[in-house]
């Protein structure tokens, strides 16, 4: 038995490449705006998490270039040792203010933020209660912890109370972890109900706001602002690779908690820190979001247009209420066929199949930016209507 045997038996991806319908790892030859260049031709991008459309903003680019010129291309070490720059601290102070918390801590990726914070906080005598549809980084975070993991049915608060009751008499640390916006279905977690149960049963609340930051709330402050619960969400996590036009992640909360994570999160202590250009890009993006609230208004205008457009055409968009709008196709092969037809017609979108979604519920995960034009969105709806009818999806 050779450990590499499984690699030789995995042929599905190679076969899809040969047959011309493999949708993943497609190289893009331009910046990630509303239009991108793939295989030398221009396409409309509706598969990006660039919600604010800031990745190519001149101020963001200029800030990144200036920081690279001043500090160099990397930090050559972890935050714990030689990899903390003054701009890391500046960013953390700005982030804490932005989400209304005492302190924040930056990680090199959003994945590492969840990995480090959750595994550091949940000890062997603790219990973590998790929504079954939470992001993979949350899953890996609690897998690395030594605590007990209790799952509850997705968005089922009766089931959450059931499992909390089962452990009500245990005098141990407890924490509920949920996405603020679920990344595949595009729904907003109902944080008030989670908080109510958390307080009733003595648990803390940790919210992954990767897809909520910059999107929810009038000023883009995420779940805390959207639900107006600054003191009830104990820890908020966010990423920089979406609305904030860069790469990295953070957690924010009470200063004493952040200090503990800072000294116990292995993905922080043993990983190189965010490069200066990435840090400066986030600071610039935050300044734009705070000074241009019309971007958020435009994002939600585009979201409403596409949600109503898809629904009126007869597509199944689930219960989406954010700029993430899934188009439920069903079987994997049908989803890939739909994706290929859209790709051939100049539309870049992401197909998602199990285990990312439930069996027989393959989707085309569409997502929108504040910078999409009406003409671009009209063309997308036109192509979806044409191809959806051809394939019998509508």
Q: Are residues 271 and 330 in the same domain?
A: no
Q: How far is CA 53 from CA 288, 295, 377, in A?
A: 11, 9, 15
Domain co-membership, 272 together with 130:
yes
Same domain, residue pair 62 and 152: yes
Strand partners, 175: 128, 204
Query: What is the model's pLDDT at position 62?
Result: 98
Q: What is the pLDDT of residue 158?
A: 97
Kindly report the CATH number assigned to the domain that includes residue 319.
Answer: 3.90.1150.10
- Report the CATH number that the domain containing residue 114 is assigned in CATH: 3.40.640.10
Residue 336 has pLDDT above 90, yes or no: yes
Asked if 174 and 129 count as a contact pair (C-beta separation under 8 A), the reply is: yes
| Domain that residue 354 falls in | 5-30+293-390
In a domain, 85, yes or no: yes
Residue 219 to residues 37, 98, 296, Cα–Cα distance (Å) = 32, 9, 7
Contacts 24+ apart (CB under 8 A), 137-143: 137/110, 137/111, 137/113, 137/208, 138/114, 138/177, 138/179, 138/208, 140/111, 140/114, 140/115, 141/114, 141/115, 141/116, 141/117, 141/177, 142/118, 142/177
| Co-location of 305 and 161 in the same domain | no
For residue 197, the tally of other CB atoms under 10 A from its CB is 21
What is the pLDDT at residue 21?
A: 87
286 and 147 in a common domain: yes
Which residue out of 174, 242, 262, 307 is catalytically annotated? 242
- DSSP 8-state assignment for residue 78: B
- Kindly state the average pLDDT of the residues 230-236: 96
pLDDT at 122 (0 to 100): 97
- 211, 262, 307, 372: the active-site residue: 211
My answer on whether 300 and 171 are in the same domain is no
For residue 237, pLDDT beyond 90: yes
* 211 carries an active-site annotation: yes
Whether residue 250 contacts residue 57, with contact meaning beta carbons closer than 8 Å, is answered with no
153 pLDDT band, cuts 50/70/90, is very high
Q: What is the pLDDT of residues 172-194, one digit of tens each?
A: 999 999 999 999 999 999 999 99
Residues 269 and 330 in one domain: no
In-domain check, residue 49: no
Report whether 237 contacts 231 (CB < 8 A): no
114 occurs within a structural domain? yes
Same domain, yes or no, for 339 and 201?
Answer: no
Taking the CB of residue 117, how many other CB atoms lie within 10 A of it? 32
For the chain, how many structural domains are there in total? 2
Residue 195 has pLDDT above 90, yes or no: yes
Does some domain include residue 134?
A: yes
Which of 232, 267, 291 represents a domain boundary (last residue)? Answer: 291
One domain for residues 102 and 250: yes
Place 383 in a pLDDT band, splitting at 50, 70 and 90: very high
Looking at the fold, whether 213 and 318 belong to one and the same domain comes out as no
Q: Domain boundary residue among 246, 268, 291?
A: 291
- The H or E element spanning position 179 is strand 174-179
Residues 253 and 334 reside in one and the same domain:
no
Note whether 224 and 180 are same-domain residues. Answer: yes
For residue 20, what pLDDT is reported? 87
Q: Which of 243, 267, 291 is the last residue of a domain?
A: 291
Kindly state whether residue 35 falls inside one of the protein's structural domains.
no
Express each pLDDT in 198-221 by its tens digit: 999 999 999 999 999 999 999 999
Kindly report, residue by residue over 75-101, the tens digit of the pLDDT: 999 999 999 999 999 999 999 999 999
- Cβ–Cβ < 8 Å for 120, 261: yes
- Active-site residue, selected from the candidate residues 119, 145, 183, 367: 183
Secondary structure (DSSP) of 187-224:
PBP-HHHHHHHHHHHT-EEEEE-TTTTTTSSTTS--HH
The confidence score (pLDDT) of residue 32 equals 86
Question: Catalytic: 183?
Answer: yes
| Residue 191 to residue 211: CA distance in whole angstroms | 15
Is residue 124 in some structural domain? Answer: yes
- Residue 111 falls within a domain, yes or no? yes
User: Does residue 51 lie in a domain region?
Assistant: no
Would you place residue 356 in the very low, low, confident or very high pLDDT band (cuts 50, 70, 90)? confident
Taking the model in full, what pTM does it have? 0.96
């Amino acid at each position: 038995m050779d450990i590499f045997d499984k690699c030789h038996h995995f042929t599905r991806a190679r076969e899809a490449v040969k047959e011309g319908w493999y949708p993943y790892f497609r190289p893009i030859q331009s910046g990630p705006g509303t239009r991108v260049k793939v295989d030398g031709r221009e396409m409309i991008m509706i598969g990006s998490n660039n919600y604010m459309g800031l990745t190519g903003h001149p101020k963001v680019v200029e800030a990144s270039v200036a920081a690279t010129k001043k500090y160099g291309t990397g930090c050559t070490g972890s935050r714990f040792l030689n990899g903390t720059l003054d701009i890391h601290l500046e960013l953390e102070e700005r982030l804490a203010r932005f989400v209304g918390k005492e302190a924040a801590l930056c990680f090199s990726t959003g994945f590492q933020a969840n990995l480090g914070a959750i595994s550091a906080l949940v000890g062997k005598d603790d219990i973590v209660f998790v929504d079954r549809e939470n992001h993979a980084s949350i899953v890996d975070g609690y897998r690395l912890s030594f605590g007990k993991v209790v799952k509850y049915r997705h968005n089922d608060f009766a089931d959450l109370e059931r499992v909390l009751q089962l452990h009500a008499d245990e005098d141990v640390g407890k924490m509920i972890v949920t996405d603020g916006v679920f990344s595949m279905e595009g729904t907003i977690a109902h944080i008030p109900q989670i908080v109510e149960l958390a307080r009733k049963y003595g648990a803390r609340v940790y919210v992954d706001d990767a897809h909520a930051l910059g999107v929810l709330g009038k000023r883009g402050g995420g779940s805390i602002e959207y639900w107006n619960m600054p003191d009830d969400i104990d820890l908020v996590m966010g990423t920089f690779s979406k609305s904030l036009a860069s790469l990295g992640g953070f957690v924010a909360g009470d200063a004493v908690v952040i200090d503990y994570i800072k000294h116990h999160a292995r993905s922080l202590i043993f990983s190189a820190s965010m490069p200066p250009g990435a840090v400066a890009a986030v600071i610039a993006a935050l300044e734009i979001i705070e000074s241009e609230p019309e971007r958020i208004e435009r994002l939600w205008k585009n979201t409403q247009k596409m949600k109503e457009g898809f629904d009126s055409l007869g597509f199944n968009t689930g219960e989406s209420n954010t700029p993430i709008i899934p188009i439920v196709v069903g079987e994997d092969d049908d989803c890939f066929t739909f994706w290929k037809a859209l790709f051939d017609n100049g539309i870049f979108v992401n197909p998602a199949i199990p285990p990312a979604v439930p069996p027989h519920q393959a989707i085309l995960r569409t997502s929108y930016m504040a910078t999409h034009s009406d003409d671009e969105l009209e063309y997308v709806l036109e192509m979806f209507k044409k191809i959806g009818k051809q394939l019998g999806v509508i």
